[in-house]
Chain A
Amino acid sequence: MSGGDSGAGIIARVRGEPYPALPQDLYIPPDALRVFLEAFEGPLDLLLYLIKRQNLNILDIPVAEITRQYMEYLALMKDLQLALAAEYLVMAAVLAELKSRLLLPRPAAEAGEEDPRAELVRRLQEYERFKTAAEELDALPRLERDIFMASAEAVRAPVKQPPPVSLAELLAAIRGVLQRAELYGHHHIQREPLSVRERMSRILERMDRVRFTAFSALFSIEEGRRGVVVTLLAILELIRESLLELVQTEPFAPIYVRLGKFSAAGEPAPSPSGD
């Protein structure tokens, strides 16, 4: 917090002691020092650096010495008014606690307790593994830096695939057609009675003449779909009124039409041929 120290020439205050100059062993121009300190990726990284700098094994942490150095760095960071993340302060507390526990003689009851350093060692080791993994990841050849996609220009004329049609879509389409057809329905209803009635008369005239004919012979294809439908409706209407009868000798055999028993002719029509 004492970044703006009033004492001129005091660069740092470590545990209350004013330092007129940066310590000899790490004298680095202040700007560079800032860069250097900002480079740490957190308290574990800083601790690892301190341990490695002295060529020490993580398992050999001299807690008191490392704590002292750690605090020095923290003071420097404060003095340079670097935003000191809370994690650094938490680690300072952890180190202080560790140091105090190591100074105290261990009561017999706690004989089985883990070395207080074990947890810190575990975290340092775990962090170091991933720090190394990150460096190895960075060393992997990667696109845009080490590897470049090979490519060639190609004329783009995408092949158009006809879209697949599902049954549901087909049914929906049919429903739409029927609905639209219904909108025109009443036009037909007005015209239909005339033409169907007329057709009924013609068919009856003809049947009166021939008395017996093949069902298909009553249709004239030249009239087209509408004519066929009108004829069919006329035949069906005549059958409903029992003026005509449909006969078939066996399944799938040709269908014949004859005058109904109650037709105008008044006498029973002959049976289909072969009967």
Chain B
Amino acid sequence: MATPELKIILEAALLAAGEPLSEHRLLALFEEPQRPDGQAIRAALQELARDYDGRGVELAEVAGGFRLQVPPAFAPWVNRLWEERAARYSRALLETLALIAYRQPITRGEIEEVRGVSVSSSVMKTLQERGWIKVLGHRETPGRPALYGTTREFLDYFNLTSLSDLPPLAERRDLDAIGAELERREAWVASPSAAAMPADEVL
């Protein structure tokens, strides 16, 4: 039997793997003499992606590599296959995860500071059991609090290739701007002359 087309070999491997395959792992499918180069692999994958246009499967690149997946558009039907709906995550869990994703490395104390409420151990446990977060190290301050960060599995799960794919965080108006605006509104200021003075000249 003649050697099948490169893209078909890659398709077969991606279907069989059950997890994303990196370019490196795709290259390792071939014995040394017949091994294509990275460029050939990428070209074949592009072709494969085009082949899937309008089909019930698509080629996606996530942090862990390439995978074949059912596009989100089919979720309403595909989800009927399972009696139970996919797990919904609590706001506490999602807010904690968001803080870790955007602010990593971050300590538990810093998460609590922003959320204004203590972080429950079960939330941290769930996040770690799902493999979405891990301890990156410890901050060298009293108590050596653990520093948390997100994992490659987190990116894979949320269909992201890197943290920069996360939706941008809402702009933060810096404190000076907030202060200035409050002053301008003079909601509480007794003496208008003091309000007009730039903050750094006072003191």
Task: Name A's B-contacting residues (CB within 8 A).
Answer: 39, 41-45, 59-60, 85, 87, 91, 102, 105-106, 108, 111-112, 114-115, 117-118, 121-123, 125-138, 140-154
Contact of A130 with B202 at beta-carbon distance under 8 Å, contacts A87-B118, A149-B69 already known: no
| B1 interface hit (Cβ, 8 Å) | no
Contact of A151 with B115 at beta-carbon distance under 8 Å, contacts A130-B98, A130-B102, A140-B159 already known: no
| Partner among B72, B160, B173, B178 whose Cβ is within 8 Å of the Cβ of A146 | B72
Contact B166 A137 (CB under 8 A): yes
Indicate with 1 or 0, residue by residue over B21-47, a CB within 8 angstroms of chain A CB atoms: 000000000000000000000000000
Which partner residue on chain B sits nearest A156 by CB separation? Answer: B16
Contact B191 A111 (CB under 8 A): yes
Which partner residue on chain A sits nearest B170 by CB separation? Answer: A129
- In the assembled complex, the Cα of A130 lies from the Cα of B91 at a distance in Å of 11
Contact A121 B159 (CB under 8 A): no
Contact B114 A127 (CB under 8 A): yes
- In the assembled complex, the Cα of A153 lies from the Cα of B202 at a distance in Å of 73
Contact A125 B172 (CB under 8 A): yes
- Chain B contacts of A143 at CB under 8 A? 156-159
Contact A152 B15 (CB under 8 A): yes
- Chain A contacts of B133 at CB under 8 A? none
- Chain B contacts of A43 at CB under 8 A? 116-117
| B63 interface hit (Cβ, 8 Å) | no
Contact A140 B116 (CB under 8 A): no
CB distance from B180 to the nearest CB of A (A): 10
- Among B60, B71, B158, the most chain A Cβ lie within 10 Å of the Cβ of B158
Contact A111 B114 (CB under 8 A): no
CB distance from A155 to the nearest CB of B (A): 9
- Among B78, B87, B188, B197, the most chain A Cβ lie within 10 Å of the Cβ of B188
Apart from the given pairs A87-B116, A112-B194, 12 other A-B contacts in the complex at a CB distance below 8 Å:
A44-B115, A44-B116, A60-B185, A123-B116, A134-B94, A136-B167, A142-B158, A146-B75, A147-B70, A147-B75, A148-B69, A149-B18
Task: For the complex of A and B, list the 9 residue pairs with the smallest distance between their C-beta atoms, beginning with the closest.
Answer: A112-B202, A42-B117, A111-B194, A154-B16, A44-B116, A150-B68, A152-B15, A134-B94, A145-B86
| Partner among B92, B170, B191 whose Cβ is within 8 Å of the Cβ of A132 | B170
CB distance from B125 to the nearest CB of A (A): 18
- Chain B contacts of A127 at CB under 8 A? 114-116
Contact A122 B91 (CB under 8 A): no
Contact A147 B16 (CB under 8 A): no
| Partner among B17, B95, B169, B187 whose Cβ is within 8 Å of the Cβ of A41 | B95
CB distance from A115 to the nearest CB of B (A): 4
| Segment 77-132 of B: residues with Cβ below 8 Å from A | 78-79, 86-87, 89, 91-92, 94-95, 97-99, 101-102, 114-118
| Segment 160-203 of B: residues with Cβ below 8 Å from A | 160, 166-167, 169-170, 172-173, 175, 178-179, 181-183, 185, 187-191, 194, 197, 199, 202-203
- Chain B contacts of A144 at CB under 8 A? 86-87, 157
- Chain B contacts of A130 at CB under 8 A? 95, 98-99, 102, 114-115, 169
- Chain B contacts of A137 at CB under 8 A? 94, 97-98, 101, 158, 166-167
Contact B117 A87 (CB under 8 A): yes
- In the assembled complex, the Cα of A60 lies from the Cα of B160 at a distance in Å of 38
| B57 interface hit (Cβ, 8 Å) | yes
Contact B89 A138 (CB under 8 A): yes
| Partner among A106, A128, A132, A154 whose Cβ is within 8 Å of the Cβ of B15 | A154
CB distance from A13 to the nearest CB of B (A): 25
| B12 interface hit (Cβ, 8 Å) | yes
Which partner residue on chain A sits nearest B157 by CB separation? Answer: A143
CB distance from A63 to the nearest CB of B (A): 9
Which partner residue on chain B sits nearest A39 by CB separation? Answer: B91
28 contacts across the A-B interface (CB closer than 8 A): A41-B115, A44-B117, A59-B178, A60-B185, A106-B189, A111-B194, A112-B203, A118-B175, A118-B182, A122-B175, A123-B114, A125-B173, A129-B169, A130-B115, A133-B101, A133-B167, A133-B169, A134-B91, A134-B97, A137-B167, A138-B94, A143-B157, A147-B71, A147-B75, A148-B70, A148-B75, A150-B57, A152-B15
- In the assembled complex, the Cα of A41 lies from the Cα of B92 at a distance in Å of 7
CB distance from A136 to the nearest CB of B (A): 4
- In the assembled complex, the Cα of A44 lies from the Cα of B16 at a distance in Å of 48
CB distance from A266 to the nearest CB of B (A): 68
